[in-house]
Structure 1
Amino acid sequence: MTPKSPPKKSRWSWRSQAFRGLIYQLIALGAIALAVWFLAHNTMQNMQVRGIQSGFDFLGQPAGFDIGESPIAFDSARPYWHAFLVGLANTLRVALIGIVLTTLFGTLLGIGRFSHNALVRGLCYAYVEFFRNIPVLLQLLMWYLLMTELLPASYEAWQVGPFFLSKGGFNVPLPLWTAGHAVMLIGLVVGIAAALVYRSRAIRHFEAIGEHRSTVLVPLGIAIGGAVVGWMVGGAPAAFELPHKGEFAIEGGAALTPEFMAVLLGLTMYTSAFVAEVVRAGIQSVSRGQAEAASALGLNRQQEMRLVMLPQALRVIIPPLTNQYLNLTKNSSLAVAIGYPDVVSIANTALNQTGRAVECISIVMLVYLTTSLATSALMNWYNARAAIKER
């Protein structure tokens, strides 16, 4: 007599653990949605009772104020949504440049902690302990005061060739845009693509036979070469608008304002100290035997760090490094304290003029939520690529 097989559980039966879990999740999502609806409905009712206007229709109205630093053309007749766009551009400019500078500077500091030179080790250690233990807001104020109090006035600006540094900011030559510059950008994009292809092949070549090819200098040269070729094909435009001393200020060219430089320096110096510790911890997590094996193979100190230690430490470095990128982006909101017109500053001005507090705060929250999620998604993708692949 053949034994009976146990009855199969239906996937949609209450006895199914997966089905019960799905129901519980739907109930939880419904409860959260109900709570959000209740809070939003209650808020709207209270605002109507008090005669407070609500809605995002104000975004189409003229802003009625100027923005001191605008990478996008703006005047007071433009609508509020355009002002928020300028604030977003200013926020992204600080965040993106700050992330690049922080990565480079923090990595050098972290590697410097392993230097055989006691002076270099001591300076790197002192830097980390000094800058990471002072609140970032105080550092922003410190850099702003240095920019506005110690630098000379515009009519006495320090000059080095076509560059001027004064309380009015850092003035540099500005290329006069022509069609040739567009061709140069196309060449740069093509060069970057070619550099990525070369770097990928160089890595596969190294993994296959152990022969090392440059994965930094040669790709960098390919990218720059593409830009140079594009520039030459576009007619080699070389016209610049040069800054010069005016009666009251430096005129012409492009200017980096004291507010922008103070925010960028403050965030970079502060976050670099944390990135340095992340890099140091990542390198220390690699077994000492790896360094000894690299030395036994005849690699010098620089090759050992670049080819053996850092690639293995990268898997430990990336997750906490993502947190530091997020912190830098969110800390840029403190720029409002020194008058830098980021998205928070624009929102404050719009809030004071329109009284739409909930809407303005919601826009700021959406901006930082979006930038943080985008940064996390990009770094998670890179972390997945750098992770150890099981054979």
Structure 2
Amino acid sequence: MTPATQGSIPIWRDERFWKVAFQIITLAVVIAVLAVLLTNLNRNLAQLGMRFGFRFLSNQAGFSVGENLVNYRPQDPYQMVVFAGLINSLRLIIVGISLATIVGILAGVASFSENWLVYKISRAYVGLVRNVPLLLQLFFWYFAVYFQLPSVQDQLEFGWVVMSKRGIYLPGPSLTDQNWLGFLLLVGAALLGGLLWKLLSDVFKGDRSPRGLIYRGISGLVALGVIGLELWLVIRGVRYLVSPQSDDSGLPLGVGISFLVLAAIAMVAFWLWQKRTRLMVEQGASGQPQLMAIGGLVAAFVLILLFGLGWQLPVVQEGGGASGGLRLSLEYAAALSGLVLYTGAFIAEIVRAGIQSVSKGQWEAARSLGLPSSLAMRLVVFPQSLRVIIPPLNSEYMNLAKNTTLAFAIGYPDLFSVSFTTLNQTGRAVEMIVLIMFIYLIFNLLISVGMNQLNALVQLKER
């Protein structure tokens, strides 16, 4: 027997062949299943006299929405009401993530408090809220708390806060609905910028193998579309944010520019902080010049925040009601309260686990330097725990984005609510479900990309 004969392997025993064959068979089965489903879909739609498509979105909607920032009217097309619902969902997601993070960090850190009462309150909050379904909590906040507020004539006044069945009035910047829309569009552009950065990194730094070149080409094509959407969001956002309104209650141009200045200050301060850290680690520099510059930027940020946004207080009107300031509808306040406290309880456990992952020696080293427990937590322990905290936060933020769909149960006109109203009026169930799934998929992808990039910043860099 020759060596060539000894080295030959029958094809049915070749592991490499079966790996490729299994992938081909799996792909063929998936394509076949999709083909059957699409064929059945087209056949059923044909029996109903319909064809799959989204042209119906240009038809007149004919129904009103309780609150919106896009100046939607019932005579506008369905695509406009879907956009209004999308903006309402974005309002809930952005504010909810911000407040839930604050609540979760406070509750998680409080679980290590040396104060017995603070510790017990933190543990009771986490244990109670985590084990009650979110939908029941939304009902509680809406029907048992906010819906029980008095009428406009008997409204409650707590200093700068006015509460009644008409809504909750808080001190706020002098922004109109159009200006808030511009702010939300710019926030969306910032989130989309994270996805664009990842796509461009894949294009210019990706693998040069044949498979890698194909992946880089696909990433490049997707990046072109994302660049177009990014430019549209930035241009529209800046236009809505800084443009004055036609009426007397419009926003002065300077207040809108103040938001852009605040964003620029925040980015420059973050860049200086990274540069300071790099110089201190790599060159042993003191970092004092950068620290002084950051202090100056923080002072400018605070001054612009306090005096550059045209803050207004609610003004009580004769006979009841209020004007000015920031108004929250009862539905929005209830949805926000339930989502923030529910998600904050899960974030608190993540923070607690992250702090516990830091070795006990770090606590002892901080105390040996004379640091009290509060400074040891803030300067030594908590920064090290971020490497453990941030990855699971990704899941909680995505859960919050998906849980906003429950707000329709208490009457908040989010994307899910207006989409189902559109579905009931048009009978386009498949198209609307596909549209809702696609939009929430984009929401979660943007959150995931942003959190992955944040996680990369806090991880240890090995030399």
Global fold match (TM > 0.5): yes
Task: Give the fraction of aligned pairs with identical amino acids, expressed as a percent.
Answer: 38
Answer whether contact 1:180 1:231 (CA < 8 A) is retained. Answer: no
Structure 1 Cα separation of the partners of residues 70 and 299 of structure 2: 27
Distance 2:111 2:287 in 1: 26
Match of 1:313 among 385, 390, 394: 385
Secondary structure of 1:171 counterpart: strand
| Secondary structure of residue in 2 paired with 1:74 | coil
Q: Deviations over 1:189-211 (max 9, x none)?
A: 22112211232133335535496
Paired with 1:265 and 1:257, the residues of 2 have a C-alpha distance of 12
Tell me which moved more, 264-273 or 175-184: 175-184
- Of 322, 332, 335, which aligns to 2:404? 332
The answer to whether the 8 A contact 2:147-2:330 is kept is no
1:62 Cα deviation from its structure 2 partner: 0.9
**Greater RCO (CA < 8 Å, at least 6 residues apart):** 2
What residue identity is the alignment partner of 1:256? L
Contact 2:147 2:165 in 1 (8 A): yes
Distance (whole Å) between structure 1 residues aligned to residue 373 and residue 35 of structure 2: 61
Q: 1:359 aligns with which of 431, 452, 457?
A: 431
Secondary structure, in 3 states, of the residue corresponding to 1:341? coil
Letter in 2 for 1:177: L
Q: Which residue of 1 aligns with 2:395?
A: 323
Structure 2 counterparts to residues 149-160 of structure 1, below 5 A: 149-160=147-158
Deviations 1:223-250 (A, max 9, x none): 5615746998xxx684959654366754
Deviation (angstroms), 1:85? 0.7
Matching residue within 105, 108, 122 for 1:107 = 105
Gaps of 5+ in 1: 5-13
Amino acid at match of 1:263: A
Larger CA deviation: 41-50 vs 130-139: 41-50
**CA offsets 1:45-83 (integer angstroms, 9 cap, x no match):** 112123355421111111101110102211001111111
Go from structure 1 to structure 2 and tell me whether the alpha carbon gap of 1:212 and 1:287 turns closer, same or farther (over 3 Å shift): farther
Determine which of 126, 142, 145 is the counterpart of 1:128: 126
* Paired residue type of 1:225: A
Residue 138 of structure 2: aligned partner: 140
Cα distance in structure 2, aligned partners of 1:142 and 1:152: 17
1:185 aligns with 2:183: no
The farther-off stretch of 250-259 and 360-369 is 250-259
Name structure 2 gaps, 5 residues minimum. Answer: 4-12, 175-249
2:374 is equivalent to residue 302 of structure 1: yes
Preserved contact between residue 147 and residue 258 of structure 1 (Cα < 8 Å): no
SS at match of 1:64: coil
**Which has the higher mean CA deviation after the structures are superposed, 122-131 or 36-45?**
36-45
More helix by share: 2
Shift in alpha-carbon separation, 1:79–1:114, aligned structure 2, 3 A: same
2:284 matches 1:284: no
Equivalent position of 2:236 in the other structure? none
The answer as to whether partners of 1:155 and 1:246 remain within 8 angstroms in 2 is no
| Match in the other structure for 1:348 | 420
3-state SS of paired residue (2:270): helix
Distance 1:189 1:24 in 2: 51
Deviation at 1:161, TM superposition (A): 5.5
In 1: Cα distance, 2:306 partner to 2:257 partner: 6
Task: Tell me by how many angstroms 1:99 deviates.
Answer: 0.6
Paired residue type of 2:371: L
Once the two structures are superposed, residues 294-330 of structure 1 have per-residue CA deviations (whole angstroms, 9 ceiling, x without a partner) of 2223322122212221122111111211111111111
After the TM superposition, which residues 1-391 of structure 1 pair with which residues of structure 2 at under 5 Å, given as runs? 17=16, 21=19, 24-52=22-50, 54-160=52-158, 163-172=161-170, 175=174, 176-207=250-281, 209=284, 222=297, 225-226=300-301, 228=303, 238=310, 243-245=315-317, 249-250=321-322, 254-391=326-463
Provide the C-alpha distance between the structure 2 equivalents of 1:194 and 1:60, rounded to a whole number of angstroms: 43
The AA in structure 1 aligned to 2:370 is: G
Question: Pairwise CA RMSD of aligned residues?
Answer: 3.2
Opposite residue 364 of structure 2, the aligned amino acid is E
* C-alpha distance in structure 2 between counterparts of 1:151 and 1:216, whole Å: 48
Task: Give the equivalent residue in structure 1 for 2:194.
Answer: none
Q: What amino acid maps onto 1:270 in structure 2?
A: Y
Give the superposition deviation at 1:170. 1.1
Given that 2:335 and 2:407 are in contact with CA atoms closer than 8 Å, whether structure 1 keeps it comes out as yes
Letter in 2 for 1:192: A
**What's 1:7 paired with?**
none
Q: CA deviation at 1:41?
A: 2.0
Cα pair distance change 1:205/1:151, threshold 3 Å: farther
Q: Tell me how far apart the structure 2 counterparts of residues 315 and 364 of structure 1 sit (CA, whole Å).
A: 33
Q: Which moved more, 1:372-381 or 1:195-204?
A: 195-204
Matched AA of 2:266: I
How many pairs were matched up? 377
Letter in 2 for 1:262: A
TM-score scaled by structure 1? 0.86
Query: TM-score, length-normalised on structure 2?
Result: 0.73
